Structures are given as C-alpha cells and as structure tokens.
Structure 1
Amino acid sequence: MSSFLHDLKVQRWDDHRYYHHSRINQSLHFISAISFLVAYGFMFVNPAVSGLIGWLISMVTRQSGHFFFEPRGYDHINQVTDEYKEEIKVGFNIQRKVVLMAVWAGLPLVLWLDPDFLGLMERHEDLSGFVLNVGWLWLWLGVAGLLVRVLQLWRKQNLYTGIVWATKILTDPFHDIMMYWKSPYYLFVKRELIDPGHHLAHEDEHKPEYARG
C-alpha cells in the first residue's frame, strides 16, 4: 500500500509540475474539480445528469485550460521540451485528448440521426429525453475512456501503472481543489498569468520516469 500511495503521489506531482503552469489553467481546474464533485453526487440520483455535468462543465473547463492557456513551448522550470512531456505522459496527451473530445462532440449527432443508438438505447420522445440520452452516452464514454487507457497502459507498461493512473483520475477532483483553490486569487488579485514555480525548483526530490496529465 505504501508503494501504491508513493506512485500515486509521483503521478500527481508530475501532473502538476509538467502540465499546470498557467494560473488560468489552474483556476479552470479548480472550477472543474468542484463540478466533478457535483457530478459524483448525481451518480446516486440521476447518472445521466452526472454525465451532462461531467462533460459540459467539468471536462470543458478542464480541457480548455490545457488546450488554450497552458504554455506549449520549452519548459524552462523542468528543463524539458513539450515533445518530451507529450511522449512520456501516462494519461491523455494532446493528441489523445483531441480524439476523445471529437468523439464526445460527435455522439449527440449520431444519437440525433439514430435515436435508439444501434438498438442500445430507448428512443427519446422529446428534447428532454434526447438530452438525457446524450448524458448517458457521455457517461459511458467517460467509463470507456478510462478503461481503454488502463488497457493501453497494461499493454505498454503494466497493469499496476494503469490502476495507479485510474485511481489518480477518479480522485483528481479532491486533489485539485486542495492544489488550486488559491489560483483564482493569484490570477485576479496578484495578476499572475503563469505560476512562478518556486516550489517546483525546491521540491523536485525525484526524477520520475513517467508523467500523467
């Protein structure tokens, strides 16, 4: 268990130091984390609504931070190139995220053209039914994305790494709130667009061979 918690901490640390330099990105992750917790709560009430919240709010804010605000050039703090970070990332790098988000955006269109989704769903009768069915599809997309990446990591590295990563993903909302709750203050009050990274220079006690985003 101590080894598992250590490796989980390593993946979390690499995620922060490599992929969250922008204060805007950090702030969006804070918003995303709160909405993910709301989505978790709806899993026990209405899973379809959970899927809608998780993708329309949580994932849109989270991935917007990475796509539009996170610097993609040479990382002077960690002294690595963006290409290196994309290559070693345990989770979804930019290329994988583009594929995932394209599938996400395309599912409502497929459902509109095929209301019973190849016979796998009950046909919607009105707009609210359509929206809820979209929520179900997005929920299953999230589950599928998680499982597919775990299987990829199992094949490329080992199942243990995939399980650590999946645990990190599922617990990210709690960790991100602890990490980034001050980010809006630094962004709007201190006017910092980029985290100066002083803590990164002094706390890099290990040089892990992998990273996750």
Structure 2
Amino acid sequence: MMPSLRKLRFEDEQGNPGFRAQLKEQRWDDHRYYHHDLINQSLHFVSACTFITAYALLFVDAALASLLAWGVAMTSRQAGHFFFEPRDYDEENGVSHEYKEEVKVGYNLMRKYVLMGLWLAIPVVLALSPTLFGALERPDSAMDFLRHVGFGWLFFGVAAILFRVGQLWFERDLETGIVWATKIVTDPFSDFRLYRTAPARLIKHGRSDDTHAAA
C-alpha cells in the first residue's frame, strides 16, 4: 500500500519527468483515483478485451470495429465509472471527489457526460437524416445504417481525442496532451494487465479494492 497523502512521482534515469515517466504517472493517478471498485475494474477488463478485439478488427472492417468499441467496450467502461465507482471522500488518497474531478488530466465525469451525450446524438441525427444532409449514400438496410453509425462513432472518437489534446496544449503544454492521447490509445493493454484478476477477486473478496500498488 502506498502512502495516501503523497503524490507519486515518476522520473526518468536523469531525474526528469520525461515522456515515459509522465505516461506512467498519468496511468498511476488514473488507477488510484478512479478504480477502487472491483465491479468497475471487472468492467474495465471486459472493456479491455473488447477494445483489443476491435483494434485487430479495425484493419478488416473499421465500421464494425467502431460499433464494437463504442457499443460494448466504451459503454461497459463508462458504466463502471458512472454507476459503481464511489464518489465519497477518498480516504486512501486523502482527497475529495471534487478534487479528483478538478485535477483529472483526461475526461472527468462531467466531461464524460457531454462526451456520451454527443455519442448518443450521432445515431439520432443519422436516423433523422440517413444521408447526413446529402453527405452520405442512403442506407438500403439496417446494417447499412449501422455501418454509417460506426463510421460516425469512429470519426467522433478521433475528434474527441484531438480536441482534448488541443485543450491540454492550451491549458498546460503539448507534451501533456500527447502523453494523455498515448495513454488513452494504449489503455486497453494496460487495463488488461491491471484488471485481469478483478473478476475473481470480486467474487472472493467483495467490491472494495485495497491493493492499489504502483504499476
């Protein structure tokens, strides 16, 4: 167990917070602040497996990969945060939920509400205008419609990452944004390693995880 009130610092061999050190620190902060509940961790494991599958499928069928990533991986991932992760005072880290929301590098819960709202709006817009106001071919079947949705979600995901990178560049610096984008893209592999034992631990020990060890 790491000391609760101390912010863990990661540095490179020269003692500077280089790219890999910043990436490790962002991952550690995300884990220790936002993954206390083993249901949440288990859902992240499901999400990681699905995202990895979607990554492989991306080179074969990008629309289907996007439907899988957003429809299964992203929804299970965010459900863990929205419905199961505790939002009371974090005794382990000595901080409030409000503090964690304020210092979150990526999409905190409030930003995620906006993000998921826009995600849900895409199929609604395509249902109202199947050709997207003349930009797309009219779908001949439900599968064609879903493929349009999949491509819409794919472009939206890329845009959401680039948008947050731009925000972080403006608020902090470009490197912070690039580090965060790298973390997001590689999270499925990191989450698979971190949370692969979560389902078994959930069954054996209940929901609370008190084994937050540095990655």
Answer yes or no: same fold by TM over 0.5.
yes
Counterpart in the other structure of 1:195: 209
Q: Distance in 1 between matches of 2:47 and 2:208?
A: 19
Letter in 2 for 1:27: S
2:129 to 110, 114, 117: 114
Residues 159-203 of structure 1 show CA distances to partners (whole Å, capped at 9, x for unaligned) of: 100000000000001000100000001101x13201024x45xx5
The amino acid of 1:69's aligned partner reads F
How do 1:121-136 and structure 2 match up within 5 A?
A: 121-136=136-151
Measure, in 2, the Cα distance between the counterparts of 1:173 and 1:167.
11
Count of residue pairs the alignment pairs up: 200
Structure 1 distance, partners of 2:86, 2:177, is 27
Shift of 1:105: 1.0
* Letter aligned with residue 25 of structure 2: V
Deviation at 1:123, TM superposition (A): 1.9
* C-alpha separation in 1, matches of 2:154 and 2:132: 15
| Partner AA of 2:74 in structure 1 | M
Q: Name the counterpart of 2:72.
A: 57
Amino acid at match of 2:108: N
CA distance, structure 2, for counterparts of residue 112 and residue 69 of structure 1: 32
Deviations 1:50-79 (A, max 9, x none): 110011100000000000000001000000
Structure 1 unaligned regions, length at least 5: 205-213
Partner of 2:84: 69
**Higher RCO (C-alpha under 8 Å, 6+ residues apart):** 1
Name the CA distance, whole Å, in 1 between partners of 2:180 and 2:27: 9
Distance 1:43 1:116 in 2: 24
The equivalent position to 1:25 in structure 2, one of 37, 40, 45, is 40
Letter in 2 for 1:78: N
Tell me how far apart the structure 1 counterparts of residues 141 and 181 of structure 2 sit (CA, whole Å).
36
Amino-acid identity (%): 52
Counterparts of residues 1-213 of structure 1 (less than 5 Å): 2=12, 3-188=18-203, 190-197=204-211, 199-200=212-213
User: Residue type matched to 2:124 in 1?
Assistant: L
> Which stretch of the first structure deviates more once superposed, 153-162 or 113-122?
113-122
* Structure 1 residue ranges, 4+ long, deviating more than 3 angstroms after superposition: none
Residue-by-residue CA offset, 1:78-135 (whole Å, 9 max, x unaligned): 0000000000000001111001111111111100111111333222111110011111
Q: Which amino acid aligns with 1:138?
A: W
- Of stretches 35-44 and 119-128 in structure 1, the one that deviates more from structure 2 is 119-128
Cα deviation, 1:3-36, whole Å, max 9, x if unaligned, reads 1111100000001000000000000000000000
Unaligned runs of 5+ in 2: 1-10, 13-17
Residues in 1 aligned to 2:82 and 2:35: alpha-carbon distance in whole angstroms: 12
Mapped partners of 1:104, 1:48: distance in 2: 15
